Structure 1
Amino acid sequence: MNHTKPDTKILTQIINNPIVKFITILALCTSCNPGFGEQIVATNTNSTSIAIKFVPPPPPPPNRGEPTGRAQGGAGRGCEPTALVPVTKSNNGNLLWGLTVAERPQFWFSLPRSLTSKDAIEFVLTDNQKKTVYKTKLNSLTTPQGIASFPIPENIPALKIGQSYNWSFSVYCDFQTIEDKPGNVQGTIQRIAINPQLKNQLANAKTPIQQATVYAKNGIWFDALTTLGINIRKEKSKEISSAWTELLRQVNLEKNSSLPITNCCDTPKK
């Protein structure tokens, strides 16, 4: 029987091939650690959600905003809404406080349950002199449980840069037949200017996730959340939903991340 001697040059080329080296190493690692290959895949699939990182800004000065929990009132009847806003520790206690660069920002709340025509919701925005800037109350709603947003209408004056505003959101359960305090949550928002560095970063952000990431790393909570929220409605993208979930997880709001974004309250009337 004749045996053909292998070509040494060809063998050397095969051995030195990067793909062959990778497969060989992967095979060896898998044999030692059966979960090795799975770890590589898991790292790649989570790269989108890990990319967004909220960096909390410094807390507001003393006497800027009132201490509050995420939800209160409602007499334990399931009327307590949740504000999708980070809790900030300050000298005043725990505050629901965040920054925006928007002239008329959107506010996001998790509804405690499905709402019917027996229920009502109210949103109020006041300036630092406690003067009402915007107030709306909506009755006769039929809205499934989920997350609702309240944008400030275009006919309302733009928020002033550097000024803080207090907001409150209330749910009146069965208000026509039961006299009771509404479930209420309140907090503070401050508009800041877009500096040249932030402007340049936003100009280079081409996707909603990139834009939200820029806002988040600069501590601008309201715009980061709104950028993702309005695009979830448009695209139903898994990547955007993943970033939304991750952003809420970082401020201990992950239990709300799976709730649908409802069509309630998109264009409230004055």
Structure 2
Amino acid sequence: MKYLSLIASLSVTILIKLWGIDAILQKPVLAIATFRNISSSWKISQMYTPPDRGAPPTTTPTGTRGSCALSKEKNLLLLIPENNIGLTLSKYPTFFVYIPPYKDAQEAEFFITDAENNNIYNHRLQLPEKSGIIKIKLPEKKSPPLEVGKEYTWGIQIFCQPDTGDHSGDAFSRGFIERIEPNIYLVEKLKKAKPLTVPSIYASQGIWYDALESIVELRRLNLNNPKLIHDWQELFNSANSHGKEELIPAPILDCCETED
């Protein structure tokens, strides 16, 4: 029963992304039936195919370790592809950040700006007590939606010495995101997809942020599944993400989500 409850919960989460909350409320039987038709030997191919969008303003993450880092080998990392830019279909996407071990820092600030450097959204957050991956969702009630075809800069700054006002040693990293409209091919693929294959569809079409969010949710609900662990590794390896050696084994923390 626990397993059935798990997969039913997962189905609702994934299908919400496809049809919207109103449709899901009318299709609870469909959600469960979809999972009953999936073999226990299912496998997702998490091969990320980068889109041909041209080079972003910078192709490497900008940042420093900061004076409060506990390890010289572990850095503040955004979960992004090698070229530092990813696509999304979402008006309010979710961002993921790897927080390394720190000894003094307690606060950080998430930010997103448009191409003209206008502020879209800022959020102060308390750092988790342990190192790992946190998620930050752009809130609908406090942020305008991302516009199709526009590139945005997002990132995070960790305040290493908040009491002194000295930000010279702060840890800082930024990346880029662009929202696109799905083509007819992608829409049809998603309509016909079993929920567990959704991340691979996004990844194969270069929709990085949606692929990442989908597989994070899968892992959250089924953490020790060896196939999901393999797919998680393949996603970062195929995208050749910066710091993938640190990202792949890092735990996903229940921390730092924004509130509407």
TM-score (norm. length: structure 2)? 0.73
Structure 1: 5+ residue stretches without partners: 1-45, 89-95
Tell me what 1:22 maps to.
Answer: none
4+ residue stretches of structure 1 with deviation over 4 A?
A: none
Pairwise CA distance, 1:114: 5.5
Over 3 Å counting, the alpha-carbon distance change for 1:120 and 1:246 in structure 2 is: same
Deviations 1:165-207 (A, max 9, x none): 1112111224225734311111110000011100111112212
Tell me what 1:60 maps to.
Answer: 54
Pairwise CA distance, 1:76: 7.3
Contact 1:122–1:171 (Cα < 8 Å) also in 2: yes
Deviations 1:68-112 (A, max 9, x none): 336425147348410110122xxxxxxx11111111111111101
Are positions 1:112 and 2:100 aligned together? yes
Counterparts of 1:86-235 in structure 2, within 5 Å, are: 86-88=81-83, 96-113=84-101, 118-139=105-126, 141-155=127-141, 156-177=143-164, 179-181=166-168, 182-208=170-196, 210-235=197-222
Over 3 Å counting, the alpha-carbon distance change for 1:83 and 1:142 in structure 2 is: closer
Counterpart-to-counterpart distance in 2, 1:248 and 1:268: 28
Of 73-82 and 239-248, more deviation after overlay is shown by 73-82
Cα RMSD, aligned residues only: 2.6
Over 3 Å counting, the alpha-carbon distance change for 1:115 and 1:105 in structure 2 is: farther
Structure 2: 5+ residue stretches without partners: 1-40
Deviations 1:210-257 (A, max 9, x none): 101000110111111110112222232513232112211222414311
Contact 2:93–2:209 (Cα < 8 Å) also in 1: yes
SS at match of 2:122: strand
Tell me what 1:248 maps to.
Answer: 236
Sequence identity percentage = 27
TM-score (norm. length: structure 1)? 0.70
Contact 1:68–1:185 (Cα < 8 Å) also in 2: no
Contact 1:121–1:172 (Cα < 8 Å) also in 2: yes
Tell me what 2:26 maps to.
Answer: none
Query: What number of residue pairs does the alignment pair up?
Result: 212
Deviations 1:19-50 (A, max 9, x none): xxxxxxxxxxxxxxxxxxxxxxxxxxx9836x
Greater relative CO (CA pairs within 8 A, separation 6+)? 2
- Who wins on radius of gyration, i.e. which is larger? 1
Counterpart-to-counterpart distance in 1, 2:151 and 2:128: 33
